[in-house]
Amino acid sequence: MANPSLLILAGDGIGPEVMAEVKKIIAWMGDKRGVTFDVSEGLVGGCSYDAHGTPLTDETMAHAQEVDAVLLGAVGGPKYDKLDFSVKPERGLLRLRKEMDLFSNLRPAQCFDALADFSSLKKEVVAGLDIVIVRELTSGVYFGEPRGIFKEGNERVGINTQRYTESEIARVAKSAFELARRRNNKVCSMEKANVMESGILWREVVQEVHDRDYPDVELSHMYADAGAMQLCRWPKQFDVIVTDNLFGDLLSDAAAMLTGSLGMLPSASLGAPMANGRPKALYEPVHGSAPDIAGQGKANPIACILSFAMALRYSFDMGTEAERIEKAVEKVLADGLRTADLLGPEGGSPIGTSAMGDAIIAALDASL
């Protein structure tokens, strides 16, 4: 039986640094658990533009379609700000999502007990938080046509189109309901049906999918702006939230900060099943390329490591190994080890990127 295949696209900024710590864990799994992967590497984002004049080559795109999962670091940086929009680093990531048809973006927001005091919200509001936002990823206002900046009379106008089909809404709704069945059987769908026709259609289709296929799952509906308020008021009322591309982008970043740091949060972008039954998938940390600390060994690798854990769970049916990694992270944090982004107002002595990776490896060793 062939080893599972994994394409690593470390990208820009701190991407290569945090990905180096994931490679340590991949090697550990081969040495200590007898689990080996066929790992290949490629370029995406600014580094790909520097090497090839495009943020993603056709060859890398084709390879991403062939492997079992893609693990991405981060893309972008200020040195690319003046590039034409069509070749900006972010276009490489958007192309991966679009051409792999990764329509369901899972963004967990989990607050480890050791970091509950680090959130800007009260400890009792966030302690034990464990929710997932399911964001539709390949349609909506980021992809709708017409789009662009046009001249109307004596002034310019910027146009972006919010567009959804029934089938696009239905498939991401199914993804959310299936996830809820593996968790606490509760979904809240968020849109703006009070002012947007696309929101009306969204609410109707989600309800239809629920009534037809998932009547056992508790379903509620909420306007997205009210949802943002409720995430700050009492986030533990939610379990799985499903929403569109734009609102999912905003709400998941808001939820991320409930946990204290973007450096802690992974994500999974899933598509339709391939011939082997596994979904096409791309895993990446929620944080950006952080060019201000790139190359300094200060980056927090935990989000990238937890993204690999998500790959084990959703692409490789290795839930036990995923949980082993998650518990190792939890232990390291409980022991008081912190990268610079996790230091509270009281300060302290942070450890570096590599040291955090080594500590997690030590915790994995201790788990055996």
Residue 261 scores a pLDDT above 80: no
pLDDT at 263 exceeding the cut of 80: no
Give which of 279, 288, 226 is closest to 256, Cα–Cα: 288
**DSSP count for the chain of H helices, then E strands:** 12, 12
Give tens-digit pLDDT for 320-353: 999 999 999 999 999 999 999 888 666 678 999 9
Confidence of residue 52 (pLDDT cuts 50, 70, 90): very high
The alpha carbon of 123 is separated from its chain's Cα centroid by a whole number of angstroms, namely 24
Query: Which residues on neighbouring strands pair with residue 241, listed in sequence order?
Result: 133, 188
pLDDT at 116: 83
pLDDT tens for each residue of 208-241: 999 999 999 999 999 999 999 999 999 999 999 9
Q: What is the pLDDT of residues 111-146, one digit of tens each?
A: 888 888 878 888 889 888 999 999 999 999 998 999
DSSP strands (E only) in the chain: 5-11, 38-42, 69-74, 104-110, 130-136, 144-152, 155-161, 186-191, 218-223, 240-243, 266-273, 279-285
- The alpha carbon dihedral of 335, 337, 343, 347 has a sign of positive
Q: Are strands 218-223 and 38-42 parallel, antiparallel or unpaired?
A: unpaired
Q: DSSP secondary structure string, 39-78? A: EEEE--THHHHHHHSSSS-HHHHHHHHHSSEEEEEE---G
Question: What does the pLDDT read at residue 184?
Answer: 96
Set out the domains of the chain in order of their start, with CATH numbers. Answer: 1-107+260-368 (3.40.718.10), 130-258 (3.40.718.10)
Active site residues: 142, 192, 225, 249, 253
Q: Closest Cα to residue 300, out of 314, 285, 315, 313?
A: 285
- What is the pLDDT averaged over residues 293-315? 95
Residue 76 in this model has a pLDDT that exceeds 70: yes
